[in-house]
Structure 1
Amino acid sequence: MQTTIRWILFDADGVLQRSADGWQDRLLELLGDASTLEELFAAEREQTMTGGNFRQLVTDELACQGVQTDPEVVLDVWRDLIVDEEMTARIGQLRAGGLKCALATNQQDVRVAHMRSMPEYDGVFDAQFYSSEVGLAKPDPAFFAQIVQQLGVPTAEVLFIDDVRANVDGAGAAGLHAEVFEHDAGVGELDRILAAYGLVGR
């Protein structure tokens, strides 16, 4: 594929990081039943991905359901992340070769604060874009358009990588190059995508 890529935007969950094993079981244990967990997931998606206070949302939901668990203990499950360090090492190699790399992910504010403080991500990216800070979320093409505007480059010089087809389609609709990453597939999957753009060895 003959094209000039100057920036690569990476999704986080399913590409660079995953939640700790058993995280859903842990939440069920803390919340008491599946319906409370589903309500919390829905509220997270609908109320906090483009702004809002997730800590307050969790606190209110626990109180509404009569759950006595400390909200911070529940939030700790959202903060329990495992980063693929082979992936972040490859990003370092890409940057050393002259490419710019950024994070472009849907996250609520508690996750954002935690991810910004994680040593595994320290110095990894040239820029970080979180939906709750941008005020827009994937797969909305406007999310990508706003990021590219901030980068100050043509959309045709940006490659977006995500494990969700809808998000890839949204990026494509905004004019970016966009590729589906097989969920949690690791650095070999990244190298496959890079090879298609002539970026292996950068």
Structure 2
Amino acid sequence: MAPVKNIIFDLGGVLLNLDVPKTSAAFKALGLTHIDELFRIGFATSFFRDYEMGTISDEEFVEKALQLTAPGTTPAQVIAAWNDMLLDFPAERVEFLKQLQSKYHIYLFSNTNQIHLLHFHKAYREVYGGEMDDLFIKAYYSHLIRMRKPDVAAFEYVIKASGVNAAETLFIDDALINVEGAHKAGLQALHLSDGKTILDLGL
């Protein structure tokens, strides 16, 4: 196995703490009782997948959610429920990423969407006073590149766009299906299992 020169991090569940059940509970309270069939960690279907792929707008996403919620639900309530899963970006992880910059070329690849991106970028600025993306040589977001994990083509796009050698690049994700996709694209890949953080990996 080639020495690692580059690291591609997932965001949610790896760098940013997530509580997906919190969003699930919020949507169920709004009447979208089958939310878990549409969206969960490492899985998205229907308009949730379309939104992560950037093929529908923020307004279209909210409207499709409203069609499945109880009468009287507002767009603001849908957005709040959707953002409920986004928690904190722990300071020790921010500092660790800064330390890694002297050892590796580091990148970000996240399955996300515009509502979430605006929310976690704003939250990061409020706490740390800078731009989150500055921690990485380049950040790749599924809705902007219109490809998402675990599709091999998505990993191949990131590899080519970054100019890295896949064999010398480690991908880290908390969803096993994404780790498997990375392996298929020729990357070294590591599943961050429950209870562990990036500080436990010996990087």
Give the TM-score normalised by structure 1. 0.80
Find the aligned partners of 1:115 and 1:103 in 2 and give their Cα distance: 14
Specify the alignment match of 2:25 in structure 1: 25
Q: Deviations over 1:63-97 (max 9, x none)?
A: 465532221232123334222332222111100x2
Q: Which runs of structure 2 are paired with 1:1-202 in the superposition (5 Å)?
A: 3-20=2-19, 22-29=22-29, 31-35=30-34, 37-38=35-36, 41=39, 42-51=45-54, 52-63=56-67, 65-80=69-84, 81=86, 82-95=88-101, 97-117=102-122, 118-119=124-125, 121=132, 123-183=134-194, 185-191=196-202, 194=203
Higher helix residue share: 1
Do 1:23 and 1:77's aligned partners in 2 also have CA atoms closer than 8 Å? yes
Q: Kindly tell me: are residues 129 and 69 of structure 1, through their superposed partners in 2, closer, same or farther at Cα, counting changes over 3 Å?
A: same
Do 1:18 and 1:184's aligned partners in 2 also have CA atoms closer than 8 Å? no
Moved more, 182-191 or 8-17: 182-191
Residue identity (%): 29
RMSD: 2.4
Find the aligned partners of 2:67 and 2:150 in 1 and give their Cα distance: 32
Q: Kindly tell me: are residues 65 and 116 of structure 1, through their superposed partners in 2, closer, same or farther at Cα, counting changes over 3 Å?
A: closer
Do 1:106 and 1:130's aligned partners in 2 also have CA atoms closer than 8 Å? yes
Give the TM-score normalised by structure 2. 0.79
Gaps of 5+ in 1: 195-202
- One-letter code of the match for 1:163? D
User: How big is the shift at 1:125?
Assistant: 1.9
User: How big is the shift at 1:160?
Assistant: 0.2
Find the aligned partners of 2:162 and 2:2 in 1 and give their Cα distance: 18
Q: Give runs of ≥4 in structure 1 deviating > 6 Å.
A: none
Q: Please state whether the residue corresponding to 1:77 is helix, strand or coil.
A: helix
Gaps of 5+ in 2: 40-44
Q: Kindly tell me: are residues 65 and 188 of structure 1, through their superposed partners in 2, closer, same or farther at Cα, counting changes over 3 Å?
A: closer
